[in-house]
Chain A
Amino acid sequence: MDPMEALVAQIQGLSSTPGDIARLHIILKQADDSLRAESTRLSPVLGQLAPSEHSLGFLYVLDAFTSGQISKQQAETSVPIITGFINACNAEQIRLAPEKFVLVCKRLKDQVMMLEAPIRGVGPLLTAARKLQLSTEHLTPLHSDFLMLCVLAKCYKTGLSILEDDIFEVDQPRDLFLYCYYGGMICIGLKRFQKALDLLHNVVTAPMSTLNAIAVEAYKKYILVSLIHHGQLSTSLPKYASSVAQRSLKNFCQPYIELANSYGTEKIAELEAYVQTNTEKFENDNNLGLVKQVVLSMYKRNIQRLTQTYLTLSLQDIANTVQLNSPKEAEMHVLQMIQDGEIYATINQRDGMVRFLEDPEQYKTCEMIENIDSSIQRIMALSRKLSAMDEQISCDQLYLSKVGRERQRYDFDDFDVPTKFNI
């Protein structure tokens, strides 16, 4: 194809300097439609281009190549191509055409889902997300897709690595919701309930003008994790949550709110009965596992309360107080809790006694000092960021125009607000 060959030649020729690349970009944009028309005949073209040097061109060709319906066998061939491209591509070049890149990656995601091997997409998408990010604080649409694949493939640890970054800049609110929701699920899977709670809290309290399904699902999980981690649920959302959320979220999560109420009565039999009657509802939301953990956490909380009042206690007494069936069960529970680090105790099997110990943490070690020091540094950095943002907004044009309109006009001490700020 002559136009194709010409295009390939241009790509190969103009991919070296930034000035050339800018020109190439314009040419590619003009050639986009023609590329799409030739989508079926583009595989040899791909072979001629090197992903690492000709990333931009490769991207456009790849985009045209993968547009349109793809069957399973075609997916088999195209997945490695895309994967190879992502791994090899040049970050600056692809940042010139982020939407195309995102589109390609989304197609990759669809294809691996179609092939029912989500794990094949985990690695590439991680690399892709990192390359697309302008900084570690930037959230791309790829993050949520990546996390979704992690959840499906059960690669929680990989997902966690990206969750460790703090996010401050967001392109699309929807990305954030999905990111936080999937991130919450990953943290629940890794039993890091505090982080999960933070992420889900972000979804639930994010500014939104209308209620969306992601927020509803997130709130359901938020209730359950809150019960597991804190043993209680605060009944009202904080003031900064959107009014839509405050009004209507509860209506969609009725069974969960009742579960929380039942938990509050501290009667295990009632809680279990309630779970029994509503098993179906919880199962439909895929939350049954979490609900079972909630019931388990009630036993744990009761045992923890015992550590406050007793120094030693027989297993039989523990079983009676916590309403377990036998001392053996009590022993299992206590053992599990000791292993998880939730209580400090020793079990004396001969006497059937448990001896509760104090938290051995004395806050005197070097690690603790380092921990505190790094927290201090982190918080100082955060404060600086906060002040920087405050200054930035004070200088923002839109803000000033709004404030300028509402200011007193008879304040002789101040300068008049220039008219260009009065819309």
Chain B
Amino acid sequence: MDADDESSNPMIDEIYANGGSAEGGGGEKRSRRLIISGDQFDIEAYASLYSGRTKIARLLFIADHCGGDNSAMQLEALRMAFDEIKKGENTQLFREVVNKIGGRLGPDYTMDVAWCEAVDRRAEQKKEKLDNELNAYRTNLIKESIRMGYNDFGDFYYAHGQLGEAFKSYVRTRDYCTTSKHIIHMCMSAILVSIEMGQFTHVASYVSKAEQTHEALDQITAAKLRCAAGLANLVSKKYKLAARKFLETAPELGSHYNEVIAPQDVATYGGLCALATFDRTELKASTLTMIMLLNDDCEISFVFLILILYLQAKVIDNINFRNFLELVPEVRELINDFYSSHYASCLEYLANLKANLLLDIHLHDHVETLYDQIRHKALIQYTLPFVSVDLQMMASAFKTTITGLEKELVALITDNQIQARVDSHNKILYARHADQRNATFQRVLETGRVFDRDVRSMLLRTNLIKYDYNARSLSRKL
């Protein structure tokens, strides 16, 4: 379905005019391929990917951020959140949701005081019971029971939304862990609560703690830990590390970590971060090779076959990530486009995805930055192979105005990311390679001058100090 169906068009035009192909008509399969956007955001489908507290948190986030004119979506999200909360025992969240609904969803979705009170009473009783049990275990000094007791406490607090207490309880079990399984269990619980609380430094430290256990982790746990590490890196803006972690996640993760993250998210986050931070070779190695292999076209796959022989180690990872990418075909397509230099459609996919990504609880802060980075990389990659580039063509390839493009290019040149100069009169970009020989001469002369000046000042200062010292010792002798 890809690149060389239009073998009638010469390859060169293809590269220049990839933006204008939409108007071109003709047998361009690319333009006819539906850009599956997510603009009709399906909340139910989205919410069904998750379970537990994160589902509620995400629904509430969507309700808060989906914008004033989309009240239908907002109400839908709130309704689903309400239903989910009612299944649990968190009265605090319940009150919040009811306030947000504000009676707009009819009598079924209003404050159910009786339910709240019942839940609270049950909670009190349970807490007392747990407390008594824990005290009993503590007096008996049976490690395992104490650990279970604290765990139960942690679960209890978590269910009731008291995340701080939950975290403390989980951490207390550390002293009573005897096997690595216990440690891993503690780490996973701590990670879960930390993610919910938004304290990603803890997440990072507990991930490393879990990975340091002596026993080999099973696939699923390892995958979970990778996801958590990736999330922590993403939130702390270490996009390259985040991409690496997400790409290393094994596909066996499936839906086992739905209380934190869905496999679609792994693909989206990993794909976007990789696109924004990896260079071409890394990108190819990690994500594309196997995709290319799926081509019907012999030429391209032949070339990549050779590359695969070199990248044997990465192939295994590729299969993993390919599985993830299958879940989010838009991201797969956009990476494909970027790599084959079809920037206009790549940026179009990105723009379409943007609205939905802004509703994602972890990614929304980073969407702008990642998009900027991807756009810059596209610009740099476009200009790299050429000695001179007509800004007119480039502007149409990126579907932007010449003045806007010029501004962006100047910013990149000043940042030293593109080695080129702009001919503003004729609107051409000329590649410019620094003259090493001249630069060396200049440096040499400058170094000589600096040495000269420094040594002279040093000798002068030495004389002054000697004079000073002589004067002082003379006065001492007198």
Contacts from A to B (Cβ < 8 Å): 166-171, 173, 176, 198, 201-202, 205-207, 209, 240, 305, 308-314, 317, 351, 353, 356, 358-359, 361-363, 368, 371-372, 375-376, 378-379, 382-383, 385-386, 389, 393, 398
Give the distance in Å from the alpha carbon of A305 to the alpha carbon of B410 in the complex.
Answer: 11
For B, the interface residue count at a CB cutoff of 8 angstroms equals 38
Given contacts A201-B457, A363-B441, A375-B448, whether A311 and B423 have CB atoms under 8 Å apart is yes
Q: Mark B443-467, 1 if CB is under 8 A from A, else 0.
A: 0110011011101111111111111
Q: Is B469 an interface residue (CB 8 A)?
A: yes
Which of A376, A378, A382 has the largest number of chain B CB atoms within 10 A? A382
**Chain A: CB-nearest residue to B418:** A309
Chain B contacts with A in 399-415, Cβ cutoff 8 A: 410, 413-414
Can you name the residue of chain B whose Cβ is closest to the Cβ of A353?
A: B425
29 contacts between A and B (CB under 8 A): A166-B456, A168-B459, A168-B460, A169-B463, A170-B463, A170-B467, A173-B468, A201-B457, A207-B464, A207-B465, A207-B468, A240-B458, A240-B461, A308-B414, A309-B413, A311-B430, A314-B424, A351-B425, A353-B425, A363-B438, A368-B441, A372-B444, A372-B445, A375-B448, A375-B452, A382-B455, A383-B455, A386-B459, A389-B462
Check A202/B410 contact, CB under 8 A, given A310-B421, A372-B445, A382-B452.
Answer: no
Check B464 against A176 for contact (C-beta < 8 Å): yes
The distance from the CB of B18 to the nearest CB of chain A, in whole angstroms, is: 26
Q: Which residues of A contact B452 (CB under 8 A)?
A: 375, 378-379, 382
Q: Would A198 and B457 count as touching, CB distance under 8 A? A: yes
- Would you give the 0/1 interface string for B411-434, flagging 1 where the beta carbon is closer than 8 Å to chain A? 001100000011111100010000
Among all A-B residue pairs, the 6 with the closest Cβ atoms: A311-B423, A363-B441, A312-B425, A311-B421, A309-B413, A313-B424
User: Closest CB of chain A to B459's CB: distance in Å?
Assistant: 5
Tell me if A173 and B457 are in contact (CB < 8 A): no
Kindly supply a per-residue 1/0 record for chain B positions 8-20, scoring 1 wherever the CB is within 8 Å of any chain A CB and 0 otherwise: 0000000000000
Task: Flag if A310 contacts B422 (CB, 8 Å).
Answer: yes
Which chain B residue shows the least CB distance to A378?
Answer: B452
Query: Is B473 in the interface zone, CB < 8 Å from A?
Result: yes
Q: Which residues from chain A contact B469 at a C-beta distance below 8 Å?
A: 398
Q: Known pairs A363-B441, A386-B458. 12 more at Cβ < 8 A?
A: A170-B464, A170-B467, A207-B461, A309-B421, A310-B423, A313-B424, A314-B425, A375-B452, A379-B448, A382-B455, A389-B462, A398-B473
Query: Which residue from chain B places its CB closest to the CB of A348 in the assembled complex?
Result: B425
B437 within 8 A of A: yes
Residues from chain B with Cβ under 8 Å of A312 in the complex:
423-426
* Distance from A53 Cβ to chain B, minimum over Cβ atoms (Å): 35
Chain B residues, CB < 8 A from A398: 469-470, 473
Query: How far is A88 from B424 in the complex, measured between Cα atoms in Å?
Result: 67
Can you name the residue of chain A whose Cβ is closest to the Cβ of B427? A312
Inside 8 A of A383's CB, which chain B residues have their CB? 455
Q: Chain A residues with Cβ under 8 A from B438's Cβ?
A: 359, 361-363
| A389 contact from B425, B441, B451, B459, Cβ within 8 A | B459
Whether B451 lies near A309 (C-beta < 8 A) is no
Residue of A nearest to B432 (CB): A311
CA distance A358 to B442 in the complex (A): 14
* Docked CA distance A140–B462 (Å): 17
The answer to whether A379 and B451 have CB atoms under 8 Å apart is yes
A384 to chain B, nearest CB (A): 11
User: In the assembled complex, how far is the CB of residue A235 from the closest CB belonging to chain B, in whole angstroms?
Assistant: 20
Task: Give B403 Cβ to nearest chain A Cβ, in Å.
Answer: 10
Task: Specify the chain B residue showing the minimal Cβ separation from A390.
Answer: B462
Q: Which of A311, A363, A372, A379 contacts B437 (CB 8 A)?
A: A363
